[in-house]
Amino acid sequence: MMIRRVWVQLLAVATATALGGAAQAGSTLDKVKQAGQISCGVPTGIAGFAAPDSQGHWAGFDVDVCRALSAAIFGAADKVKYVPLTAQQRFTALQSGEVDVLSNNTTDTLQRDTELGLNFAPVVFYDGQGFMVAKKLGIKTAKELNGATICVAPGTTTELNLADYFRANKMDFKPVVIEKVDELYAAFFSGRCDVITGDASGLAAQRLGRASNPDDYIVLSERISKEPLAPVVRHGDDQWDDIVRWVVYALIEAEEKGITTKNVDEKLKSDDPGIKRMLGVTPGMGKALGLDEKWAYNEIKLVGNYGEIFDRTLGKETELKFERGLNDLWTHGGLMYAMPIR
Amino acid sequence: MATDSATAAPQAPRPPPWHDARIRSIAYQVLFVAVVAAFVAFLVHNTLVNLHRQNIASGFGFLDREAAFGIGESLIAYSPADTYARAFLVGLLNTLYVSALGIALTTVLGTVMGIARLSSNWLIRKLAQVYVETFRNIPLLLQLFFWWAMFRVSAPAPRQAWELLPGVLVSNRGFVYPVPIADPVHHWMLLAFALGIIGAIGVSRWSKRRQALTGAQFPTGWVGAALILGLPLLVFLAAGMPLELDWPELKGFNFGGGGAVSPEFAALLIGLTVYTGSFVAEIVRAGILAVSWGQSEAASALGLKPGQRMRLIVLPQALRVIVPPMTSEYLNLTKNSSLAVAIGYPDLVSIAGTTINQTGQAVEGIAMIMAVYLTISLLISLFMNLYNRAVALVER
């Protein structure tokens, strides 16, 4: 029962904040090592980002970020407990310590960073909010949406951007707000709403994943917001924050340096001092993070570099066929730029 | 003085305080309260410390900030530029609205079904039984999804809406219907309506007194109805029937003009009413059965017709059995309205949930939700207890 889950979640936070003693004073890394696994908050089901495959294993872009973390910490990619969380549940789950990290298509905003007591790792996916409509309505641009009924998930930046956009353009809309992704898209595809709004990547994924005939729907070309999606950790544990940050940078850096799952063993013999430092041939980086010196090597060996993950889950090797666009390396005109690992 | 000491009962020597049962019981109670208070203080302190440690701002200051999210249906004017406090009020009113309508409809449906279960007509009796056994044995959430899906899946798009009556249309966006455009005469009609009610009450009192004195009966019901409905109608006719309707019409995506009921609201109201009604039916049936058969027989012997027997003899006695469990059902209905979250009706919990998520003020938000439901429940309970006192058996 959904309502029960909402209540349990909310009450869990309340009780956790009320009763939780100084147990969390220990570092998240110690807790994770003790538990033998990372508790990773992922979306409840977006094709390409996080969804269980036919064998019931979680797979997707968000999932691979969790696996990279696991590889860096444990030297094995499967030490992850996946906790599917709706947009409304995710922050409370992180704050209360139910999960150690969110890899949940979460937009980095000032308010979340400050008032919610969160810290954002580097952006792993640059997205923008879009609108999806049925083709038969004959709508070409978002400016024609005055008076539309719009399906939207609560507790997201999407919900706020939507209201902002319509206010800015002096248009009216009627929101239908449903928390569960399944119910939300069922409502849209059955015609309860004229429009559904969300991160454009998510809309494209859901169109392929859920519509009975994907060609009946289009995602309008306008992007009404910036949605930099990033992993999230609790504020106040700098070591854990650092680990997540550099695990993400290492994925990007590996692509830039041309290190892949296939050639990472050869690269161990490379003369490039940068690669030697990163892969732990020259020790120091792992120790600085409080991890094994092989942390980056394991990530790339077991999960792959950023480009490999992207192609495998969202890009050219998938039905989604997303362009790299903003998510290409800075050297190719994108925004992916890792800080130096030294 | 002497008499005083003579009449004074011989006092047993007071035991030491720690052996005095009365003092001990007070001490235990004080101790208990102190422990509870200490526990609460510990919780509050710990919460504040933990919130501070997690760098989460606390306090109710967020209520004054701009909410910035849209709400689908509202009884009062609301725009995303309004504050969180106003959004919260919108949610509260939506909850009260659906609960109040639900309670009224449930009472009617449950009473009818409860009486139908005791009908001497086999078909009516069995139909009522099937209704009760079906709807009280299926979880409410499933029923809500069912009613909601009925609208979404079965009803057509707005452009192909079904026209039930001229201007009354059903589509997957809900019901739309024409509403009268406001006219000054309508205020006078409202006044006439109020006068009609006062008149009807007066007639009823007068006829009761007359019947007690002379035994002569008076058709109170008909005269009352004529007063309540007739007076406004008379005003309406006298003013030359000023009635202009605001018809719903297709404008862009959806219907504009007229009134509208969303599928979410309709599904929630139907679901709550039908579900709770099945429980109320059983309560009503039990209440009627609790009145001994001799009462009905005596009423028949006095020459009362079956309708009068039920209205004048059985129901008044059944009410004192019915009212207390009925209070619980009303409370259940009100609290169950929070299931609205699942189907997207913007009730209190839904809006507070969004607020909590946008601001991160989980503790404050939950405290507000709990306080509101507690207040609503206690108020319903209070009114029902007052009513119960009024209908309770007066022992002479």
Least confident of A264-273, B28-37, B214-223: B214-223
Sort out which chain A residues have CB atoms less than 8 A from B263's CB and list them: 192
**pLDDT digit string, tens, across residues A89-140:** 888 899 888 999 999 999 999 988 988 889 999 999 999 999 999 998 888 8
**pLDDT digit string, tens, across residues A167-213:** 999 998 989 998 888 889 988 998 889 999 998 888 988 888 888 88
Least confident of A55-69, A141-155, A194-208, B235-249: B235-249
Least confident of A100-114, B245-259, B304-318, B351-365: B245-259
Inter-chain residue contact B55 with A3, CB threshold 8 Å: no
Residue of A nearest to B365 (CA): A10
Judged against a pLDDT cut of 90, whether residue B221 lies above it is answered with no
Cα distances from A278 to residues A245, A251, A300, in angstroms, run: 14, 11, 11
Judged against a pLDDT cut of 80, whether residue A12 lies above it is answered with no
Judged against a pLDDT cut of 60, whether residue B340 lies above it is answered with yes
Higher-confidence position of B126 and B68: B126
CA distance A235 to B288: 62
Let me know: does A150 contact B348? Beta carbons within 8 Å: no
Inter-chain residue contact A177 with B350, CB threshold 8 Å: yes
CATH 1.10.420.10 fits A129-225, yes or no: no
Residue among A1, A3, A90 with most chain B CBs within 10 A, to mutate: A3
CA distance A311 to B43: 50
Inter-chain residue contact B69 with A186, CB threshold 8 Å: no
CA distance A33 to chain B (A): 22
Judged against a pLDDT cut of 70, whether residue A13 lies above it is answered with no
CA distance A95 to A103: 14
Inter-chain residue contact B363 with A6, CB threshold 8 Å: no
Q: Which of B50, B70, B253 has the CB atom closest to A175's CB atom?
A: B70
Sort out which chain A residues have CB atoms less than 8 A from B362's CB and list them: 10, 13-14, 17, 92, 95
Are A2-13+26-126+229-330 and A129-225 in the same CATH fold?
Answer: yes
CA distance A221 to A207: 15
Inter-chain residue contact B173 with A149, CB threshold 8 Å: yes
Sort out which chain B residues have CB atoms less than 8 A from A187's CB and list them: 152, 344
CA distance B148 to chain A (A): 10
Three-state DSSP at A58 gives strand
**pLDDT score, position A63:** 96
Tell me what the pLDDT averaged over chain B comes to.
Answer: 86
Break chain B down into helix, strand, coil percent, rounded to 5. Answer: 70, 5, 25
3-state SS of B147-216 is: HHHHHHHHCCCHHHCEEEECCEEEECCEEEECEECCCHHHHHHHHHHHHHHHHHHHHHHHHHHHHHHHCC
**pLDDT digit string, tens, across residues A275-322:** 999 999 999 999 999 999 999 999 999 999 999 999 999 988 888 888
**pLDDT score, position B261:** 86
Cα distances from B278 to residues B117, B132, B343, B386, in angstroms, run: 11, 5, 22, 25
Degrees, nearest 5: CA angle B367-B89-B81: 115
Inter-chain residue contact A187 with B253, CB threshold 8 Å: no
Q: What is the DSSP letter of B359?
A: H
Q: CATH says A2-13+26-126+229-330 is which class?
A: alpha beta
**pLDDT digit string, tens, across residues B29-47:** 999 999 999 999 998 888 8
Place of tokens 């009604």: B277
Let me know: does A187 contact B152? Beta carbons within 8 Å: yes
**pLDDT score, position B258:** 74
Three-state DSSP at B11 gives coil
**pLDDT score, position B1:** 46
Q: Is B81 exposed, middle or buried (0-12, 13-18, 19+ CB in 10 A)?
A: exposed
pTM: 0.79
Taking residues B93-113, report their average pLDDT: 95
Q: Which of B51, B55, B69 has the CB atom closest to A159's CB atom?
A: B69
**pLDDT score, position B358:** 83
**Total CB pairs under 8 A between chain A and B:** 162
Judged against a pLDDT cut of 70, whether residue A2 lies above it is answered with no
Q: What is the ipTM of this complex?
A: 0.74
Three-state DSSP at B78 gives coil
CATH 1.10.10.10 fits B84-181+244-391, yes or no: no
Let me know: does A338 contact A252? Beta carbons within 8 Å: yes
Q: What is the DSSP letter of A43?
A: -
Residues in chain B: 396
Q: Which of A18, A88, A173 has the CB atom closest to B47's CB atom?
A: A18
Taking residues B122-132, report their average pLDDT: 95
Res. B334 pLDDT band, cuts 50 70 90: very high
**pLDDT score, position B214:** 85
Inter-chain residue contact B353 with A166, CB threshold 8 Å: no
Q: What are phi and psi of A282, to 5 degrees?
A: -95, 110
Residue of A nearest to B153 (CA): A190
Least confident of A8-12, A244-248, B49-53: A8-12
Higher-confidence position of A242 and B254: A242
Judged against a pLDDT cut of 50, whether residue A23 lies above it is answered with no
Res. A15 pLDDT band, cuts 50 70 90: low
CA distance A283 to chain B (A): 34
The ranges assigned to domains in chain A are 2-13+26-126+229-330, 129-225
CA distance B87 to chain A (A): 14
Show the tokens assigned to B225: 């109805």
Q: Which of B56, B72, B342 has the CB atom closest to A176's CB atom?
A: B72
Residue of B nearest to A175 (CA): B72
**pLDDT score, position A11:** 58
Let me know: does A342 contact A277? Beta carbons within 8 Å: yes
Single-letter code of the amino acid located at A83: V
| Alpha helix (H) residue ranges in chain A | 2-19, 28-35, 61-74, 87-95, 110-114, 157-168, 181-189, 200-210, 238-256, 264-267, 273-278, 285-289, 295-302, 306-313
Q: Angle, nearest 10°, between helix axes A238-256 and A306-313?
A: 80
**pLDDT digit string, tens, across residues A28-79:** 999 999 999 999 999 988 888 998 888 889 999 999 999 999 999 999 999 9
**pLDDT digit string, tens, across residues B274-325:** 999 999 999 999 999 999 889 989 999 998 888 888 888 888 888 888 988 9
Q: What is the DSSP letter of A50?
A: B
Judged against a pLDDT cut of 60, whether residue A3 lies above it is answered with no
Judged against a pLDDT cut of 90, whether residue A245 lies above it is answered with yes
Residues in chain A: 342
Inter-chain residue contact B80 with A159, CB threshold 8 Å: no
Inter-chain residue contact A191 with B172, CB threshold 8 Å: yes
Inter-chain residue contact A117 with B343, CB threshold 8 Å: no
